[in-house]
Structure 1
């Protein structure tokens, strides 16, 4: 099966390798790329920080841009990661106390609130990106839990030439993998910018990591969208 992978690098390469293991043909078209912002990270965590929270492995990759001394100020803190892939990246970097959520920001907030006391003098440090979904922050704020936010990366659209996009889409993929709502929106904008009709791909299956991501698609595309019961890549790829 020919599968279009739209997630950013280097995650796209890992997904491609897994697809090949499963006997599929991956085609890479990353629609976003990360720009790391290290100034806030270089200041180190605020005094009395209770824990770190990350909702993307991109935050862990941003930490790799720090010097060893700068990074060491974070590694002793307990870290709450949105899913297993992010948790693995954190352990590989040197974090020892790593807790794993069940795949989305809302679930991570519940896990963190159950594990860390509500003393607002000991804030949660959220290493965040932009744009991002608001659920994680909203859940902590609704629980009156102190939170400090450092935006350490920004996801920006990749700019592909029309000829390259048409080459990637020829022959047509059997399905398209979408890992974020922003990527879903970027894909729709990309298709609408092509001289060929956007309707030419509307009957292609969209494999979305979650129902929320599928909801970011237009109605015509959404009719062909499926998603796993939990936002996990292994379950997503099982849908192929």
Structure 2
């Protein structure tokens, strides 16, 4: 099966390798790219910080750009990761005490509420744009969150001719990992709909929320995984 991978590098390369292992033909067309902002991590965690929360492995790549001295105050704290891939990236970055939620911000908030006292602040290493559920749920539970926006996700630019070349022949499925990517797919759909047959493609999304960000015209071709995890997503192929 020909499968379009839209997630940024280096994650797209790992997904491509897994697709090849399963006998599929991956096509890489990252639609978003990360701009690191390590200056957001220059101040060390506040005194008394209870834990670090992370909803993307991208934050761990920013941690890895810091000097050893700057990393240590962060590595000394327990880390709560949104899912398995982020937890794996955290361990690779040098975190020893890593807890794993069920793949979305709400489950991460529940895990922190169950494990940490609201009297101590949580430091949240995150990016923009992002969903608000995690921060909202913690705030409603009385937690103080020190938000560090250490990266930005911006659209990757591709000329229409390049998109048409990459999508010829049209893939059987497109993997969609975020609402921002879904919106970018909507832009590409509008730009190339006269040339490419988008109606035959299955849009496999990490969640129903992400599927809802696709253009209404192609939403009927969308499916989403039972849990917001890549291994579950690939089962839809």
TM class by smaller structure = over 0.9
State the alpha-carbon separation in 1 of the partners of residues 70 and 17 from structure 2. Answer: 33
2-structure distance, mates of 1:221, 1:162: 19
Superposed, 1:171-190 pairs within 5 Å as 171-190=169-188
Work out whether 1:116 is the aligned partner of 2:113: no
TM-score by length of 2: 0.98
Partner of 1:206: 203
Give the CA deviation at 1:198.
7.5
* Paired residues, number: 237
TM-superposition CA deviations, 1:193-240 (whole Å, max 9, x none):
23x428720231000011110111122211011111101101110110
CA contact (8 A) 1:78 1:97 kept: yes
Superposed structure 1 runs of 4+ greater than 3 Å apart:
none
> Aligned with 2:102: secondary structure?
coil
1: CA distance, partners of 2:220 / 2:160: 26
TM-score, normalized by length of structure 1?
0.96
Q: Deviations over 1:114-171 (max 9, x none)?
A: 000111xx21000010000000000001111111100000000011112111110001
Cα RMSD, aligned residues only? 1.1
Q: What runs of 5+ residues in structure 1 fail to find an aligned partner?
A: none
Q: Structure 1: how far apart are the matches of 2:85 and 2:25?
A: 22
Alignment of 1:150-161 (within 5 A): 150-161=148-159
Q: Which residue of 2 aligns with 1:25?
A: 25
1:132 aligns with 2:130: yes
Contact 1:203 1:221 in 2 (8 A): no
Unaligned residue ranges in structure 2 (runs of 5+): none
- What is the alpha-carbon distance in structure 1 between the residues aligned to residue 157 and residue 215 of structure 2? 22
